[in-house]
Amino acid sequence: MSRYILERLEKFEPYTVGEQPKDNGYIKLNTNESPYFPSEYAVGAINETLLKNLRLYSDPESSELVKAIADYYEIKTQNVMTANGSDEILAFAFAGLCGEGAVFPDVTYGFYKVFAGLFGVAFDEIPLKEDFTVNTDDYLNVGKTVVLANPNAQTGIYLPLTEIEKIVKSNPSSPVVIDEAYVDFGGESAVSLIGKYGNLAVVRTFSKSRSLAGARVGFVMADERLIDDFKRVKYSFNPYNVNGVSALLAANAIKDEQYFKSCTDKIISTRGRLISELELLGFKTLPSLANFVLAEHSETDGKTLYEKLKERGILVRRFGGGRINNFVRITVGSEEQIDALLKAVKEIIK
């Protein structure tokens, strides 16, 4: 650190990303990427003309992508804004929509706390219940911006839409940001509520269910006025935030419903098998509707399990220090990757 850094950022802990090893030999089950390639239809549209057009700035509105998203969710284009990954959307929310501070669970996506620190937003972390579920009552009439991942990050637990609606309805003076990075793996989206509530922002990504983590495309769906607020922040920061290649990949990926469905169906089915096999081996797992499973074994601590899996060429994620210290988070990979994981786990715990 130099002496030039802001004082506020001196003690601040940046987000720790999951390991991205240079060596491709690992079975990577640590950052919730898709084991499947992006849609062929999407990749096939990348041609030389498109690449040559990188000479020009991209369309700041990503109009074609916004139109594809609006068509898909049957909303208006005025209800959509795109960004460089959903992390950027979340950053915009913390930068511009948390005037009264923010609340989020104690166990959730680690970036919320980081963004709060970066933008100087006061925040409360509300403990999840003993069973790691959200207590809806904790989020009623809070008078601060509510940020909830649904399904929740790290736990995979989904909060029913009726509960989300209670939270949105009881906080008319504060934005409620629902981060649906994992909703395509079995949950029901809150996008159906955006016409009814002006304070709801639904945040989505192409990184997980649409196999485009490296393309960096995310978006937000909300009432037109709230979208205008997001645009005020975006146009004050980086107007050309989505490049043309990524925008076309994403627009075509969302049109390839059949491929999307085949990938999410496979992941949902593999997740079921992973959970039941882990439970047969004596693991406790949380009921996940995401593309990962949080699991703990009573006789092997999380750190040992993580390390021994790594020795065997398998990367999982561990969040040390807090309430999920003893758990490992396993991304639902392909059937073959999960076979390899289960084989290694059996060797480790016997």
Ligand X SMILES: *Cc1c(COP(=O)(O)O)cnc(C)c1O
**Residue ranges binding ligand X (CB under 6 A):** 32, 85-87, 109, 149, 153, 179, 181, 205, 207, 213, 218
For residues 68 and 252, what is the distance between their CA atoms, to the nearest angstrom?
Answer: 8
Least distance in angstroms from the C-beta of 108 to ligand X: 7
Nearer to ligand X, 32 or 243 (CB): 32
For residues 164 and 189, what is the distance between their CA atoms, to the nearest angstrom?
Answer: 10
Angle ∠(161,165,167) on CA atoms, nearest 5: 120
- Euclidean distance between the first and the last CA atom of the chain, given in angstroms as a whole number: 45
3-state SS class at 102 = strand
For residues 40 and 38, what is the distance between their CA atoms, to the nearest angstrom?
Answer: 6
Nearer to ligand X, 179 or 223 (CB): 179
Least distance in angstroms from the C-beta of 162 to ligand X: 21
Least distance in angstroms from the C-beta of 154 to ligand X: 9
Nearer to ligand X, 116 or 345 (CB): 116
Least distance in angstroms from the C-beta of 181 to ligand X: 4
Nearer to ligand X, 270 or 291 (CB): 291
Least distance in angstroms from the C-beta of 304 to ligand X: 25
Least distance in angstroms from the C-beta of 183 to ligand X: 10
Nearer to ligand X, 32 or 241 (CB): 32
Q: Which residue number has the CB closest to ligand X?
A: 85
Quote the crossing angle between the two packed helices 302-311 and 335-349, to the nearest 10°: 120
For residues 327 and 306, what is the distance between their CA atoms, to the nearest angstrom?
Answer: 9
Q: Where are the alpha helices (DSSP H) in 12-153?
A: 40-44, 48-52, 63-73, 86-96, 111-119
Nearer to ligand X, 86 or 199 (CB): 86
Neighbours of 21 (CB within 10 A): 11
Amino acid making up residue 48: E
Nearer to ligand X, 182 or 300 (CB): 182
Under 8 Å CB-to-CB from 5, ≥6 apart: which residues? none
Least distance in angstroms from the C-beta of 217 to ligand X: 7
